[in-house]
């Protein structure tokens, strides 16, 4: 007898989408260099430095013994740490995938820099900058994604997820209906009492647990 295959877990086919992941990585990498280019161009115009492709793909300018090196290091931290964390929150929106994407575009930047300069970066300032940028992007990205995941979700006019939501328990309308039914029962008991009859309160409702009963009034003969 052929062995029956176990059905795939719900959502398993949609969790891993190589094409979607590759597209997100390409978009993040493009945004990484686009934002860095804009920041580098602004920095060059303000400080009077010459703008070139070496500012984006070179590593020799990021050094700790010059003011320009510290400025370029700050620009890379601002780009990879702050702006890219916002991009990750918008595009990825899943906290458990933030480290993978953050380390991926930083790793690709290392590859492109090595290919452009034909040598591995040898400045310790460059490595410290990239490590700090990776750490900041991971920390801010995970915080932003977790904050986004914990936001309440509204469906059909009611809150179903998030803080302050209730998944069980009677609603206000149900509580009001129950109170109305209890009021009708109490009014019925009062009417019976006024007619000269009294209904027993039920078993086990007295102080001693045996129940409380009242006798009806008897008419005296002439």
Domain of 129, in residue numbers: 18-152
Per the CB < 8 A criterion, the answer to whether 97 and 153 are in contact is no
Residue 209, domain member (yes or no):
no
Residue 77, domain member (yes or no):
yes
Residue 178, domain member (yes or no):
no
Kindly provide the b/e burial profile for residues 190-200, where b requires at least 16 CB atoms within 10 angstroms of the residue's own CB.
eeeeeeeeeee
- The confidence score (pLDDT) of residue 127 equals 96
pLDDT tens for each residue of the chain, 222 residues long: 566 666 655 554 455 588 999 999 999 999 999 999 999 999 999 988 889 899 999 999 999 999 999 999 999 999 999 999 999 999 998 889 999 999 999 999 999 999 999 999 999 999 999 999 999 999 999 999 999 888 876 666 555 555 444 444 445 555 555 555 555 455 555 554 444 444 455 455 555 555 555 666 666 654
In DSSP terms, which residues pair with 158 in a beta bridge?
155
Residue 110, domain member (yes or no):
yes
Q: The dihedral of CA 90, 80, 101, 131: what is its sign?
A: negative
Per the CB < 8 A criterion, the answer to whether 97 and 28 are in contact is no
Residue 184, domain member (yes or no):
no
Environment class of residue 221 by beta-carbon count within 10 Å: exposed (0-12), middle (13-18) or buried (19+)? exposed
- The confidence score (pLDDT) of residue 39 equals 94
Which residues lie below 8 Å from residue 141, measured CB to CB, with a gap of 6+? 84, 85, 88, 89, 92, 95, 98, 101, 102
Residue 187, domain member (yes or no):
no
- The CA-atom distances, in angstroms, between 164 and each of 146, 151, 157, 213 are 17, 11, 15, 46
Residue 162, domain member (yes or no):
no
Residue 39, domain member (yes or no):
yes
Q: Domain count of the chain?
A: 1
- The confidence score (pLDDT) of residue 169 equals 46
- The confidence score (pLDDT) of residue 183 equals 55
pTM: 0.63
- The confidence score (pLDDT) of residue 49 equals 87
- The confidence score (pLDDT) of residue 158 equals 56
In DSSP terms, which residues pair with 130 in a beta bridge?
none
Q: What is the DSSP string of 38-103?
A: HHHHHHHHHHTPPP-THHHH-STT--SSSHHHHHHHHHHHIIIIIIHHHHHHHHT--GGGHHHHHH
Nearest to 202 by CA among 194, 214, 190: 214
């Amino acid at each position: 007898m052929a062995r029956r295959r176990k059905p795939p877990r719900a959502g398993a086919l949609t969790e891993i989408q190589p094409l979607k992941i590759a597209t997100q990585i390409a978009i993040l990498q493009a945004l990484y260099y686009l934002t860095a280019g804009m920041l580098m161009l602004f920095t060059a115009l303000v400080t009077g430095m010459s703008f070139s492709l070496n500012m984006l793909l070179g590593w020799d300018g990021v050094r700790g013994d010059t003011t320009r090196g510290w400025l370029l290091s700050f620009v890379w931290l601002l780009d990879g740490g702050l702006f890219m964390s916002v991009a990750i929150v918008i595009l990825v929106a899943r906290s458990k995938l933030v480290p993978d994407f953050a380390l991926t575009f930083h790793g690709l930047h290392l590859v492109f820099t090595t290919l452009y300069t034909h040598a591995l970066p040898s400045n310790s300032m460059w490595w410290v900058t990239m490590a700090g940028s990776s750490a900041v992007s991971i920390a801010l990205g995970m915080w932003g994604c977790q904050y986004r995941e914990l936001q309440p979700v509204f469906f059909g006019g009611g809150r179903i997820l998030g803080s302050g939501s209730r998944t069980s328990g009677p609603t206000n309308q149900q509580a009001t209906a129950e109170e109305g039914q209890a009021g009708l029962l109490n009014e019925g008991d009062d009417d019976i009492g006024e007619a000269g009859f009294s209904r027993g309160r039920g078993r086990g409702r007295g102080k001693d647990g045996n129940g409380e009963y009242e006798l009806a009034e008897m008419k005296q003969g002439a």
